[in-house]
Structure 1
């Protein structure tokens, strides 16, 4: 019997609706838009409505690149400046996700391993970019070493980061984003998102130093605490930072917390994340009774004996990358894709080449694109709504990647970066889309289903605006609502301003 092939509409509706309807129940229908919702009666009316909204609220001071495509007919429902190049912020992660799933498959995984050379008493930790590795993962591997190491021997500890190059940041990243956790340093050996969490609480008495704790507890960072406990009813303001540009791991705490103030929590990046990972491993080994020398970098020899390992499925990484817009997941997958395809150290140039190869394989032109990183953090990235919409259409046709690709997208009003957007509208739990935000840029790209049950892909980028990003987000959300209520039969009503 020949395998049954689903046409694009049937395939899209199956996986979109299974993952996108209200609650966790399996259903093949999304909630119908409320009767009172605005419905767009025709493509001409849709164009007039969107042109008016964009003209009134975005132009002439800002730039917009928008394209909407029917997945049923393949026709363009709406477009404005579809080829205008601009950075798309975190919408760039869609390129990374589709290319990784296409070339590596959802069953692929990233391994982190501990090996030993007993003759030289050397332990090796090798990573290939697992962005979700945690202290708990390291502890589990250390537990697996019980009975496998020689008692009373002091081991050398070597980290192997040769899966990636030595670039700690992406090209075109902004220096003043440091030490925000979204601008973490990069390494093939990453742990705890390459950050520490610092908690500051009032001291036990007035004028006493504030209490500072670090999670995970580690000697890799030091604390300079000049914060004091103030008078009752006083200030609750403290500064917790690692000075930008200083390649050290000293955390500075200053300011004042009065008794009764809530604890202040900050997540900060760490410099040299591979040494951070090795230090945490060394500390865990010490707790288990194994002493080590200060960690160094090197290469695992071919004759080293594998003792313990952990694997992270690509599917899990992509879900976190898209749902939470996780930059480390995107950057490590970007470099790992280059490594897996070439067998050489993963680089940003190799990641760009791999993604452009994928796009060209789908018939998408790449000659005018700039793909500087995998996350969209770089200001050097240049793409447009036409390219993103084509990518979304191509992904929807690929039965090997689309189920995971669609399921990993944030669901409006439900989860991820769309959890608080489009609530109480016909687009709630109907729109699945990736968000993108940076200074002066707001983007939204993904899928929805019209009031007639027609699946569509849309891509929207707005740049060169000033003021609150929430204003532009609301405009993009209103466009997504219009698409979700679009109908060829129902009359048009005025949109909510």
Structure 2
């Protein structure tokens, strides 16, 4: 008996159990995760014989009517640690502009830009949207299969109890098990076509540094990759390595070939498009887009945000490319009344130094989020909370601890710029939308001290509430 037949016969028996285990909409094996972002599960319905429990009526928030006692931001906006400051604060209840410091001037954004990409995706994609990775056979080409990417950066090469930063992703091992279960050709697989054409255009922009990839900040943005192309994404391993390769597509093909142990030992890997007439053999699907959004905003995942932007662009009828991100955001937000004047998006994640936003643009978007206009309220639930979650978990300390739990915001950093923007539930009950950018410019410099200085300003906003003045 050949090695292929011995292995495949044994694995088919095991696969029958695997297929049962992986059945259902999420095909990947469940794995633990340090950053679970599951969608809320429906509450089980009561037994027909049980008496109904009255559902409490939610208390409707009543915004404070004022008048508000004037309360100056004072020295919190003039700290030398903030360099050249750009800021804008709006009372989300009344629409009144409370702070305007270069609010209509453009500045680099850093990762605050992610809220624009996320907002466009929330408006464009249904919350149940998922990415699908398929394996297809090719009639007339015995032994040939296609691994067709659907733009799932979370697709994982992990096995067993290993896990990555992404919650319960689809796994290559599940895909391989299903191929084994369904493979009925007399010969093993001899060719694997790797189709990454779900996305289009360049996979890496000249607006990023080459070191952004090697330092682990970003991967090539390809329609087919595993684990966001991290060299070792296993969070159970002491050898974790966030380095990204120059060819995620080929790397994925090698992992998949290995996962098909005994069935594709001699297979050739070829990058190309799916041949006409190819027949789907099996598939796995990602977690819903809401999981991606929650994780991307919480931990500021650059690759994840770029993938989210491309899925939204494609759903909007645009090419899934870098060039579409700005078009997507402008066409989504302008009809909502957000002023996008001056917006420049070289990417969707904020990593590019050439990105430009105005504080007014970001604050106006946050007003829409605070008031849940066009369903944007979900973005508020994704924002890190001061002193509690995400990138703000370790911030707002010392005198600023009074604002913990009450300040929500997306933080950002690129060399020469620190940023913070979001929503504040102020002490007086007001809801404030804010955007702050501390920049090295005009002879002024910013360093790490800009972070606590931004926290101090946001804390003052919390204290002042509706009476905030410059």
Asked if Structure 1 and Structure 2 have the same fold, meaning a TM-score greater than 0.5 normalized by the shorter chain, the answer is yes
Structure 1 residue 145 corresponds to structure 2 residue 153: no
Count of aligned pairs: 388
Structure 1 unaligned residues grouped into runs of 5+: 1-17, 19-26, 31-40, 199-214, 217-262, 493-497
Q: Distance in 2 between matches of 1:311 and 1:71?
A: 38
Q: Contact 2:81–2:449 (CA<8 Å) still a contact in 1?
A: no
Aligned to 1:460, the other structure's residue is in SS state: strand
- How much does 1:404 deviate? 2.5
Of 440, 453, 459, 2:429 maps to 453
Of 128, 136, 142, 2:150 maps to 128
Q: Distance in 2 between matches of 1:113 and 1:399?
A: 36
CA gap 1:427/1:28 in 2 versus in 1, 3 angstroms: farther
Aligned to 1:109, the other structure's residue is in SS state: coil
Of 210, 218, 227, 1:183 maps to 218
1:177-216 pair list within 5 angstroms = 177-197=212-232
Q: Distance in 1 between matches of 2:284 and 2:239?
A: 33
- How much does 1:303 deviate? 2.7
Deviation string 1:8-59 (CA, Å, 9 cap, x unpaired) is: xxxxxxxxxx9xxxxxxxx9899xxxxxxxxxx9664324x2xx33324257
1:41-190 pair list within 5 angstroms = 44-47=70-73, 49=74, 52-58=75-81, 62-121=83-142, 122-136=144-158, 137-149=171-183, 150-190=185-225
Q: Which moved more, 1:426-435 or 1:95-104?
A: 426-435
Aligned to 1:462, the other structure's residue is in SS state: strand
- TM (normalized to structure 1)? 0.72
- How much does 1:163 deviate? 1.7
**Which residue does the alignment assign to 1:418?**
392
- How much does 1:321 deviate? 0.9
Q: Distance in 1 between matches of 2:431 and 2:188?
A: 64
**Which residue does the alignment assign to 1:34?**
none
Q: Distance in 1 between matches of 2:69 and 2:136?
A: 62
**Runs of 4+ with >6 A deviation:** 27-30, 465-468
Deviation string 1:210-263 (CA, Å, 9 cap, x unpaired) is: xxxxx69xxxxxxxxxxxxxxxxxxxxxxxxxxxxxxxxxxxxxxxxxxxxxx7
Q: Distance in 2 between matches of 1:443 and 1:289?
A: 51
Q: Distance in 2 between matches of 1:188 and 1:292?
A: 25
What is the root-mean-square deviation of aligned Cα atoms in Å?
Answer: 2.9
- How much does 1:477 deviate? 0.3
**Which residue does the alignment assign to 1:372?**
346
Q: Distance in 2 between matches of 1:28 and 1:180?
A: 48
Q: Distance in 2 between matches of 1:426 and 1:447?
A: 16
Of 301, 313, 316, 1:338 maps to 313
Structure 2 unaligned residues grouped into runs of 5+: 1-39, 41-57, 62-66, 159-170
Q: Distance in 2 between matches of 1:298 and 1:84?
A: 45
**Which residue does the alignment assign to 1:223?**
none
Aligned to 1:355, the other structure's residue is in SS state: helix
**Which residue does the alignment assign to 1:431?**
407
- TM (normalized to structure 2)? 0.76
Structure 1 residue 348 corresponds to structure 2 residue 314: no
CA gap 1:487/1:381 in 2 versus in 1, 3 angstroms: closer
- How much does 1:307 deviate? 2.2
- Structure that is richer in strand per residue: 1
Q: Contact 2:122–2:376 (CA<8 Å) still a contact in 1?
A: no
Aligned to 2:181, the other structure's residue is in SS state: coil
Q: Contact 2:112–2:411 (CA<8 Å) still a contact in 1?
A: yes
